[in-house]
Amino acid sequence: MAQGKGGRAVTHGAATGHAPAQSFLRRHVFSVDHKVIGRQYLDLALVAVVTGMVLSWIMRFHLGWPETPVPGLGKLAPTGAAGGVITPEFYLALMTMHGTIMVFFVLTTAPFAGFGNFFLPIHVGAEDMAFPRINMTSFWVTLAAFLVLVSAFFVGDGPPLSGWTAYAPLSAVGKDAGPGQGVGQTLWAVSIAMFCVAQLLGSLNFIATTLDLRTRGMSLARLPFATWAWFITSVIGLVAFAVLMPACILLILDRVAGTSFFIPAGLVISDRLQPHAGGSPLLWQHLFWFFGHPEVYIAILPGFGIVSQILPVFARKPLLGPRVFIVCLIAIAFLSYTVWGHHMFLSGMNPVSATLFSVPTLVITIPATIICLLWIGTLYGARLRFTTAALFALGFVSVFVSGGISGFFLAQPSTDIYLHGTYFVVAHFHFVMGVAAMFGIFAGTYFWFPKMFGRMMNETLGKWHFWLTFIGVYCVFMPMHYLGLAGNVRRYSAFTDDYLQPLIPLHRFITIAALFTGAVQLIFLFNLIRSRLRGPVAPANPWEATTLEWSTSSPPPHDNFGGHPPVVTHGPNEFGGVGPQDYVMQAEPR
C-alpha cells in the first residue's frame, strides 16, 4: 500500500472494480468495460474509414476524368454534382470531409483510443480504466461528434469547403463564402469541439490508468512499448485538444454571435462587405496548428508503439535500445509543441519566425530517425517470422521513412515556399501520417485480433492484403512527389485548361491505383468478418509474446485476469534466450 503525505494510506483507483453487467444493453452497448469501449472505437473508425475512402475515390475519379460523370453521383448529390459532374465547390466539400473524417475519426480513434482502450489496462495489469464511466462518456461523445459531422451532408447546402484546417476567414464569415459555409461549417466546428472534449477525457483516463493502476512489479521501465506510446500520446493530447476546443468555440462565436476574432475589416465576399473588423485570420492558424502539429504525433506515435511491440516478437530479438526509444518518444512529445509554425511559412508570417520554427522542425527528425534506426537494428541478424502482422510492421517502417524523407525538404522555408501549395505536401503527409498510421492499425489488428475475439485471422488472405496494399499505396503516393515538383497545385478540382494538362495521364494512373488499393481492402474486410465467425480458435499466446495480455485467456475475461491480478517480474523485451522457450513472459514467476 502506498503512503501519502503524513503517513496516511493512499488507496488507488476510484471504483475501478465493477461487477459484470447483466442486461444486453449494459454489456454490449452502454458498457463501461474498457474492452467493449475499445472495440466500439474500432468499429466507429471502420465506418469512418470506409466513408473517408469512398469520398477520396470520388475526388480521384474527378481528377483523372474531370468531365466524365461519376456513376450514380448525380442522384446522391443533385446540387454538388448535377448529372454526376462535380462542381469545384463540391470537390472542396469532399476534400474537407475526407480530411476531417480521416484525421479525427480514423487516425486518432483507431490506433490511440481503440487499441489503447482495449490493451492499455491489460498491459499495466489493471482490471479496467481508472474512470470507467468517463471512458464510456468519451466514446459516446466521439460518436455524437461523428454523427454531427456527417449530418453536414444532409442539411443546408451540404458540407463545408474550407478543408480539415478550416482556415479563416473563409470558415468564419458564414454562407457568403460559398455553399456549405453556412450550417455545414457550423456543424463542423461543433463536431470538432465535441471531439476535443471526448479526447481530453480519454487522455486524462489513459494517464491516470498508466500511472496509478499498474499491478505489482509493473514499474514504469517494465511498461510495454505500445503502452508507453499511448501514455506519451495522451500527454500530447491533453494539451493539444485543450487548445483546439477554445479555438473552435471562438470560431463558432464568429459565425453565430457576430464577433470578429478571425475576420479582418473591409472584407468583401460575394459582393457583400462583411460586418466585421479587427480580427486576424493568422490567429486561427496559430491556434489550429498549435493543435494540428501535435495531432500528427497523436496519429503516429501509437503506430510507433505498436510496431516496437510487434517487431521484437517476430524477430525473436529484444528491441534495440528500449530506453533510447522511450527517451525519443518523450523528446518528440516535447518538440511537437515547438514546430507548428512550419505549416505557416506561406501565411505571411515574419521570416524570422519562419527560421525559428524551421530549426526545431529539423531537430524533431533526430529522435524520429533514431527510432527508425532502432527498428532496423532490431531486425539486424534476426530470423524473422513473416506473419502478416510482422509484414505490416515492416511496411510501416518503409512508408514512414519514405514519407519522412520528404519532410526534410518541407522543414526549410526556402524549399517549402515552392512545395507547400503542391501535391508534394499531399504525398508527404499521406505517407508519413496517413498510410503509416494505417499500416500501424493493420499491424495491430492482425497481431491482436486473436486476443480481442478469440479467433485467428487467415494468414494467406492477410499476406495478399499486405502485398497488394503495399504496392498500391506506393503507386498512389510516390507519383504525387513528381506532380508537386512539376508545380501541380493542390486543392484544385481540375487541371483541364492550363499548363498542367500534360500531367493528367499521371493523375489517371494515380486514380486507377487508388481504386485498386481501395478494392484490395475488401480482402481485409472479408478476412475480418470471416475470421470473426469461423476463424480457428486462438490459444492464449499464439505469437509467443511476452506482455500481460498474452498471459490471460483469448478473449480476456470481464476483469481481464479472472480475479487474479498478475505479479510482474520481467520487462516486456526478454526475447532470444536459449532453451526450449526463447522468451520470458512478464508475469512468469522468477
Partner 1 sequence: MAELTAVREPSPFGVTSRKLGIWMFIVADAATFAALLFAYGYERVANPDWTRPFSFWPSITNGIVMTVVLLTSSLTIIAAVLAAQAGRKTSALRWLGATMLLGALFAALHLREWIVMIGDGWRPFRNPLGGTPLVGATFFSITGLHLLHVVTGVVVIGVIALGYRRGRFEPGHLETVGLYWHFVDLVWMFVFPLVYLMNMR
| Residues within the interface to partner 1 (CB under 8 A) | 1-5, 10-17, 127, 130-131, 200, 203-205, 207-209, 211-220, 238-239, 241-243, 245-247, 249-250, 253, 257-261, 275-280, 283, 286-287, 290, 565, 567
> Based on the number of CB atoms within 10 Å of its own CB, is 72 exposed (0-12), middle (13-18) or buried (19 or more)?
exposed
CB of 166 to partner 1, least distance (A): 16
> Based on the number of CB atoms within 10 Å of its own CB, is 589 exposed (0-12), middle (13-18) or buried (19 or more)?
exposed
**Strand runs (DSSP E) across 340-385, as ranges?**
none
Which one, 77 or 126, has the nearer CB to partner 1? Answer: 126
Which one, 110 or 223, has the nearer CB to partner 1? Answer: 223
Q: How far apart are CA 478 and CA 35, in angstroms?
A: 38
Q: Is the peptide bond before 78 cis (omega within 30 degrees of 0)?
A: no
CB of 249 to partner 1, least distance (A): 8
According to DSSP, the residues that pair with 537 across neighbouring strands are 455
According to DSSP, the residues that pair with 422 across neighbouring strands are 489
CB of 91 to partner 1, least distance (A): 32
Q: What is the CA radius of gyration of the chain?
A: 24
CB of 202 to partner 1, least distance (A): 11
Which one, 293 or 455, has the nearer CB to partner 1? Answer: 293
- Which amino acid makes up residue 320? L
Which one, 253 or 500, has the nearer CB to partner 1? Answer: 253
Who's near 352: CB < 8 A, 6+ residues apart?
Answer: none
- Which amino acid makes up residue 162? S
DSSP states along 73-96:
HHHH-TTTTGGGPPPHHHHHHHHH
Which one, 277 or 525, has the nearer CB to partner 1? Answer: 277
CB of 142 to partner 1, least distance (A): 17
Which one, 258 or 539, has the nearer CB to partner 1? Answer: 258
CB of 237 to partner 1, least distance (A): 9
Per residue, the 3-state secondary structure of 412-460, as one string, reads: CHHHHHHHCCEHHHHHHHHHHHHHHHHHHHHHHHHHHHHHHHCECCCHH
Strand-strand pairing, 272-273 and 2-3: unpaired
Which one, 278 or 557, has the nearer CB to partner 1? Answer: 278
Q: Which SS3 state, helix, strand or coil, does residue 12 take? A: coil
CB of 340 to partner 1, least distance (A): 12
CB of 333 to partner 1, least distance (A): 14
Which one, 209 or 531, has the nearer CB to partner 1? Answer: 209
- CB-CB contact of 118 with 519 (8 Å): no
